[in-house]
Amino acid sequence: MTYGRGTFKGIEFGLYGYEDIDSEETMDNIKREFEDQYLKQIKTNLKKVGIKFISLKWFSPREYNFANDNLDLTIRIVDKKKIKTAILKHKTEIDKRLSENKSYSGYTSLTIYSVESELELLDKPNYEIDLIVLSEILNIDFTDFDINEHLITLPDCEECNEYFDQEDLKEFEGEWLCEDCLKKAKEFEK
């Protein structure tokens, strides 16, 4: 099972709207820094509650109309008894977040309604843990991780402040780079 946005409470990984960044380098850097800070703890906490860590991978939508970039967590359920114990241990927090996320006119929630609903589903053969439940039983504080600290910006022209990368330079050579910038870029290519 793969879980996206909302899995890591307190972090938004979306890069839509950031300008002048090298998206691929930024994604690699964010993932590397996130794993350095949290992967060991994520694996440990998941194991304690009967869940096996499989992977952590970037998801980037083809279009940003309805989704944004995210670091997705893939897991596998190993021990439903441990999951039940963890759910009951965090019942108050889970129920609070679920009540804040209930459906209402004009909004349909994609999460369950209560801990009791989750526990009923737990007995089903193809059980998939609810995103809010997973987020709460993961029980890690991610609030000190800020993606803005890990952005990789594109180089800019000191003369005109335009940003460019090597791909842009090949495509638009001379069209938007000032003469000084173009000379520097050509020297950089050597």
pLDDT band at 158 (very low <50, low <70, confident <90, very high): low
Q: How far apart are CA 98 and CA 128, in angstroms?
A: 16
Assign residue 106 a region: left if phi > 0, alpha if psi is -120 to 50, beta otherwise? left
Residues 116 and 30 in one domain: yes
pLDDT band at 48 (very low <50, low <70, confident <90, very high): very high
State pTM to two decimals: 0.74
Q: Within 13 Å and on the Cβ side, how many CA atoms surround 72?
A: 13
* Predicted local distance difference test score (pLDDT) of residue 131: 84
Task: Identify which of 60, 49, 1 has the alpha carbon closest to the alpha carbon of residue 27.
Answer: 60
Residues 101 and 160 in one domain: no
Residues 33 and 49 in one domain: yes
Average pLDDT of 119-148? 88
Q: What are the structure tokens assigned to 159, written together?
A: 């003369």
What is the chain's mean pLDDT, rounded? 80
Residues 132 and 54 in one domain: yes
Residues 142 and 180 in one domain: no
Residues 138 and 161 in one domain: no
Q: Which of 12-16, 26-30, 125-129, 131-135 has the lowest mean pLDDT?
A: 12-16
Task: Identify which of 75, 56, 54 has the alpha carbon closest to the alpha carbon of residue 13.
Answer: 56
143 lies in which domain range?
A: 2-153
In this structure, are residues 56 and 31 in contact, taking their beta carbons and an 8 Å threshold? yes
Q: How far apart are CA 52 and CA 74, in angstroms?
A: 9
Residues 20 and 102 in one domain: yes
Q: Is 45 in a helix, a strand, or coil?
A: helix
Residues 99 and 8 in one domain: yes
Residues 146 and 159 in one domain: no
Residues 131 and 144 in one domain: yes
Torsional sign, CA 11, 141, 86, 83:
positive
Average pLDDT of 24-34? 91
Residues 143 and 183 in one domain: no
- Percent of the chain at pLDDT exceeding 70: 74
Domain count, the chain: 2
